[in-house]
A and B are shown apart, each in its own frame.
Chain A
Amino acid sequence: MTITFYYNRSDNNVLDKDIQPAFTAPMMGILRDESSILAPVITVEATASTFASVNYAYIEDFDRYYYIEDIDSVRNGLTQIAMRVDVLMSYKQQIRASSALVKRNAYQYNLMLNDGSLAAYADGYVLAYQFSGGFNTENFVLIVAGGG
């Protein structure tokens, strides 16, 4: 099967990975027996040092992108590469098209929603604001019975 190896600069939680091809052309590999397409183990005819700067791959037959989790040198000139599917990159178009209830976002948000994500120091502010008017005079009031 045809495998394109990449160098992935993005974190795993990035949907659209920033990847650069590691080699000028895809390589051929053989899927190990009883290997899952979600976590395939591919044997490639190359030395392990060939993959020193490789951490990502695309397997055309599976139409999926994979993280490279481990690279084992089986013997000279034969390397076994364990992968794990990157569902975000593999299905990024479908994910983008999915309807969602977005609970948190970096740019579209409403800070009036109290989700407890804002922290506060223990020393809060206690402020006093005085009104401009009030009781600014004093007078005697003498109340007597009868007419004045």
Chain B
Amino acid sequence: MASISYFPITADNDIAFDIPIMFNDALFSAASGTFLQISGSGGDGTNTIKNLCDQLKENIPSFQRFNMPTPSNFQTNIPSDNNLLEYFLNVYSNICKADPVLHYISGELTNVNGTSASIGTLQKTYDAYTAFFAQPQNSDTQTATRMTALRFAFSIDYLNRTGSYARKQVQIQIPLMPENASSDGVFYLDYAQPRFVQLYFYLYNSRPWVLDVMLIDGSASNFVDFKAWINGQQVIEPPAPSDDPYIGAGYPASTAPGGASGGSFNFSEDGITGVHTPGLNLLNTGLITAWRPSKSILAQLAGWLWVTTPGQIVQQLFGNPINAIIGLNIVPVSPPVDGGTNTIKFGVDDSGVACPKITSQHVTVDCGTLTIDPKYGSYMDFAPQTSAELFLPYVGGLPLDVNDVIGKTIGVKYQVDVLSGACVAYVFIDGVLHYQKAGGCAATAPITGSQMPNVVSGVLSIVGSVAGAVASAGASGASTAAKVASGIATGTSVAESAANMMKQSISYAGTISGWAGLLGAQKPYLILSLPHAAIPGGQNTLMGYPAWVSGRVGDFTGYTECTVDRVTATRATDKEVEEIKSLLEGGVIL
């Protein structure tokens, strides 16, 4: 089994080296001193490198972030004067946020079997440290290329507690000794499958040491041309910070203009689309009947109700049909009716007035839809810059979330109860119910009703008056008797007196309500308050527009404000790096 192990080499100074270098946990297995177990290998060992790469990809998430160039590309781009090049080890260092001070690494990759000495010098590319591993190329006989291990060593220069620079070295050895290697126990490179070997080292200082910059320039050597190609191939991304609450929670990183959204949140709505019609209906129960009379029908009905003949008065004294009226409303809807052949009955009394009878207690009113397009196509179209309120007849104002208005289709429907006048306005956004609000749409007409005790007392008073009048007439002579006789003969004056007394006892059974609704607008309307945006020409080129996307600085052009975690400029001093960051924050033109 091949394995990768690491161990610090003895420090070349007297400062205690407490291994301030901690590798990313992902690189470690439970075994002490081993941070990645590489298992499995080709029978003859020729695929070990390939397997190692594959398993690195499987075991190190960040390893997968790199695109492996195809062998053909790799071969094609090998400079002609570097025909020894076969592999390189790309080491990516990342300084954890706790210690943002730059570290500089140098080192070399060494074939430890002694057949070749230094096989490459660490070259710092943009964000990575790249080492080239050169092997004598002999594609005809693999036996000419043999090795037992790769050893990768590097050093870290830092400013120690005493204020002087110190250098620490770390060496990583990668044995290439598969258990099932060939009889000579050596590893054979597989020329047919050249691969990148990339390792990520997450370096941080576990102690509050002051790590300062120590510039170590790597020489370009003879790989300078190839380095340019590598730089063109690499897309160096710092690993996503583990403490980002969104990363790992299903929210992908924003990598494109316009951002991205995601997560496991269920955006599928339940889709409430209709208005509710109660299942029970008071009509047609025999207890209540609702009619939809016209004005002329009401006039006929009034003529029947307000009787003037004494016989009818006496008949209605103890059974006035007006008392059977529950209500007379004006509603802004047309309740469905039958053929209009039935006559209105008050209890057992049939008025003989034919009228359309309402067949359904509930009426639905569809007010249609309204589509509001964005004006600016920017955040100016939304809150708090823009606000919206819906006016609903018989209900009132209803503030809307602007997100439910801009670019959406608003629909309004009413469900009206014609008996009570109660109504509910339903507001649909793109066909889905979002709001509902109750109101009243019946204007209740005042209907006179008689209060039975007063009616009775009025009748007794009338009777008393008539008796008194008769007695008085007898006592006062013929003229008076004649008046009474005349009165009795006509009966009208007594009846009028009774009617007048009954009018005095009349009370209003209903109250005037809902009339204001009839006076208001009868169609819903939307009030939209939009800002009057000031948009100077060329604002994007002068100060840009909000982007909030990640990428390489070189991917953008024009005015750009950005934050970089580090600028891997090997020559730059700390002061220069800080100035670069500051300028990028303030805005530069790319």
Contacts and interface: CB of A to CB of B under 8 A. Distances in A.
Interface of A: 10-11, 13-16, 38, 63-64, 85, 87-88, 90-91, 93-115, 117-148
Contact of B548 (A64, A90, A103): A103
A1 B347 CA distance: 119
A132 B289 contact: no
B324 A134 contact: no
A127 B530 CA distance: 8
A106 B237 CA distance: 23
Contacts of B540: 106-107, 109
A91 B576 contact: yes
A123 to B, nearest CB: 6
Contacts, number: 361
B114 to A, nearest CB: 37
Contacts of B589: 10-11, 13-15
Interface of B: 126-127, 231, 236-238, 257-259, 286-295, 298, 301, 324-335, 342, 344-348, 355, 357-358, 365-370, 372, 376-380, 382, 385, 393-394, 412, 414, 418-419, 441-442, 445, 518, 521-535, 539-541, 543-554, 556-569, 571-573, 575-576, 579-580, 583-584, 586-590
B550 A141 contact: no
- Interchain residue pairs A-B with the least CB separation, the first 8: A106-B558, A134-B523, A96-B554, A148-B289, A109-B545, A97-B126, A111-B378, A104-B544
Contacts of A125: 528-532
B289 A104 contact: no
A103 B561 contact: yes
Contacts of B347: 145-146
Given A108-B556, A120-B533, A99 B238 contact: yes
Contact of B562 (A87, A100, A117, A144): A100
A69 to B, nearest CB: 15
B288 A145 contact: yes
A60 B221 CA distance: 20
Given A99-B564, A126-B529, A138-B518, A104 B345 contact: no
A13 B541 CA distance: 13
A131 to B, nearest CB: 5
Contacts of B567: 91, 94-95, 98
A122 B573 CA distance: 49
A142 B366 CA distance: 24
Contacts of B377: 111
For A15, A85, A122, A128, the residue with the greatest tally of chain B CB atoms inside 10 Å of its CB is A15
A115 B288 CA distance: 62
11 contacts: A15-B589, A94-B567, A98-B126, A111-B545, A113-B546, A121-B532, A131-B369, A133-B365, A134-B521, A138-B518, A141-B418
A34 B539 CA distance: 44
Contacts of B380: 118, 120
A89 to B, nearest CB: 11
A148 B337 CA distance: 13
A103 B385 CA distance: 22
A98 B419 CA distance: 73
A40 to B, nearest CB: 13
Contacts of B531: 120-121, 124-125
A15 B590 contact: yes
Contacts of A122: 532
A143 B419 contact: yes
Contacts of B346: 144-146
A106 B590 CA distance: 10
A108 B546 CA distance: 8
Nearest to A14: B589
B333 A145 contact: no
A97 B418 contact: no
Contacts of A124: 529-532
Contact of A107 (B412, B553, B557): B557
A105 B553 contact: no
Contact of B331 (A16, A91, A141): A141
B580 A100 contact: no
Given A91-B580, A98-B126, A103 B563 contact: yes
B330 A138 contact: yes
A96 B445 CA distance: 79
Given A105-B549, A146-B348, 7 more contacts: A91-B572, A91-B576, A103-B547, A109-B544, A125-B529, A130-B523, A142-B325
B546 A117 contact: yes
Contacts of B238: 99
A127 B525 CA distance: 10
A141 B335 contact: yes
Contacts of A112: 378-379, 382
B568 A98 contact: yes
B326 A94 contact: no
Contact of B524 (A87, A88, A111, A130): A130
Given A105-B560, A118-B535, A148-B357, A143 B288 contact: yes
Contacts of B291: 141-144, 148
A111 B379 contact: yes
Contacts of B372: 129
Contact of A137 (B333, B379, B523, B552): B333
B230 to A, nearest CB: 12
B378 A134 contact: no
For A11, A117, A126, A133, the residue with the greatest tally of chain B CB atoms inside 10 Å of its CB is A133
A137 B523 CA distance: 11
Contacts of A11: 589
A20 B524 CA distance: 67
Contacts of B546: 103-104, 109-111, 113-115, 117
A96 to B, nearest CB: 3
A120 B584 CA distance: 28
A67 B532 CA distance: 43
A87 B572 contact: yes
Contacts of B342: 148
Contact of A113 (B376, B379, B533): B379
Nearest to A85: B576
B326 A145 contact: yes
Contacts of B257: 108-110
A100 B559 contact: no
Nearest to B582: A87
A130 B238 CA distance: 54
A97 B554 contact: yes
A120 B387 CA distance: 14
Contact of B584 (A100, A113, A142): A100
A141 B553 contact: no
